[in-house]
Amino acid sequence: MANKNILLVNYDYPPAGGIGTQRIYHFAKYLKRSGYNPIVLTNIHGLGKGIDNSLIGSKEFESIPTIRMGGEELVSHHLGNLRGVKKLIYNGKLAIKYLHTGQIYHSWYVDCRGHLKNIVEDYQIDCVWTTSPTYSSLFFGREIKKSTNTPWIIDLRDSIVGRTESTKNLINYVSGLASAYWEKVLCPHADHIVGATPGIIESLTQRCGKQLSRTSTSLIYNGFDPDDYIIAVDSVSSPSKKLQIAYTGTFLGRRNPDNLITALKRLSKLHPEYAAQLKFVFAGEYAEPIRKRLLSLERNYEIELTGFMPRTDIISLQLNSDVLLLLTVDVVDKNQSEVLTGKVFEYIGANKPILATCPSGPLNDLITQHNLGLTSPPGDSRKLFENLKLLGEQWLRSGKLAYFPDQDIRAKFDRSRQVKQLIQIIEEVTT
């Protein structure tokens, strides 16, 4: 039954850039088109992994009511405008203040906590949907459930415990202990839990099976918005003489370009004629050491670093490229069985071959079983070299790539179709 008021809670939301904003925005967009009334609750500053104003001012985006409050204490964290001792003091204060939750984003919840009951009453909320990360959103859900008895759905884009990209240090170790504790405390209060991969649900059930005996679970993958690619088609340019390989992700924590650099050095040395066919475009805001390493390589292939790009430009870059590069962390551990990064669905939407480094598991299976591209294990620079060699050789020989993907798989990850799963869950918990 449409016309229900759904409160969607997520720290990341446009104009903040990055893949983390896309899931909740597209759910809100297609709920609105389906006759529901989504209301988004997010932070007041709109900061994140870059600023993307491409949606601001659009009729559809502006039609979704958005409550922006809290999170002022985290502005300097996002801006990175503190240096030296000031930065140490700022980060130290935040870490100590929110040590009991293991994450500084709890500051956002503290700012909003006293307003949540009024928001539910003023907007006559029928259901609350909280998306994690950050798992501070779970505190919003529990508070609303406790104070108003509003049905609560948890949406997990990533696992709460054991994030694979986190650098191993004392702070992240303490954060891991805290997140494991709060997972068992908070999740059982939800009426339903959605995971973005089968592994997220499976591992959560293993850790919290007894506590979740009364909580139903389901799977809604990340996906792509078909509207993005219809709009961006007008910006597709004529084919390049080079085989253009685009990377539109981040380098963060244990995700780095080391494996790629090693493979490229080997390709340049052993097969310079194939390396010369390649042009790499890296679109993202990277730390200066990463930029210097990429640009200082002795090479006979091209490298371009664009810096941060708005989402519309990212989609255009994907459509104008011949291959899309997907790099996961260069370390294999048990938690990576859950990894099915949202970026892969953008690439599927662009309908381009994928060149990926990924462990065995759902991501590797998705790409290989549906003929979506080539994969190599994390840290296996020799296999990545072989894949690059294959691409360069094919391009030199014919000026194009043979690509015959399973087209039926695209429909499975179409956001406009996935919203039907979301609506079914909402109706179940509110009836």
CATH code of residue 154: 3.40.50.2000
One domain for residues 132 and 147: yes
Surface-to-core class of residue 202, CB atoms within 10 Å of its CB (0-12 exposed, 13-18 middle, 19+ buried): middle
One domain for residues 238 and 217: no
Q: How many CB atoms lie within 10 A of CB 93?
A: 12
One domain for residues 205 and 264: no
Residue 65, preceding bond cis, omega within 30 degrees? Answer: no
One domain for residues 81 and 196: yes
For the chain, the domain total comes to 2
One domain for residues 219 and 233: no
One domain for residues 192 and 64: yes
Give the CA dihedral 298, 303, 305, 310, nearest 10 degrees: -160
Two tokens at 146? Answer: 């406790």
CB 192 within 8 A of CB 145: no
One domain for residues 359 and 390: yes
One domain for residues 158 and 204: yes
Task: Express each pLDDT in 199-258 by its tens digit.
Answer: 899 889 989 887 887 889 999 999 999 988 876 555 555 556 899 999 998 887 667 888
- Count, residues in the chain: 431
Q: Is the dihedral of CA 270, 271, 277, 278 positive or negative?
A: negative
Between CA 274 and CA 86 the distance in angstroms is 49
Task: Express each pLDDT in 365-411 by its tens digit.
Answer: 999 999 999 999 988 999 999 999 999 999 999 998 989 999 888 88
CB 160 within 8 A of CB 136: no
Q: How many CB atoms lie within 10 A of CB 429?
A: 18
**What was the pLDDT predicted at 100?**
85
One domain for residues 211 and 293: no
Q: Name the nearest CA neighbour of 131 among 34, 44, 42, 253.
A: 42
Place of tokens 């956002």: 108
Within a 13 Å sphere around the CA of 139, how many CA atoms are in the beta-carbon half?
Answer: 21
Report which secondary-structure segment, H or E, holds 375. Answer: strand 373-376
Task: Express each pLDDT in 138-186 by its tens digit.
Answer: 999 999 999 999 999 999 998 888 665 555 666 677 778 888 899 999 9
Spatial neighbors of 252 by CB under 8 A, at least 6 apart, are 165
Task: Express each pLDDT in 294-317 by its tens digit.
Answer: 888 878 889 999 988 888 889 999
Share of the chain above pLDDT 70, in %: 92
**What was the pLDDT predicted at 9?**
98
pLDDT at 102 over 70: yes
One domain for residues 112 and 257: no
Between CA 413 and CA 401 the distance in angstroms is 24
One domain for residues 317 and 379: yes
Read off the pTM.
0.86
3-state DSSP assignment of residue 42: strand
List the domain range (segments joined by +) for residue 91.
5-223+414-430
One domain for residues 46 and 99: yes
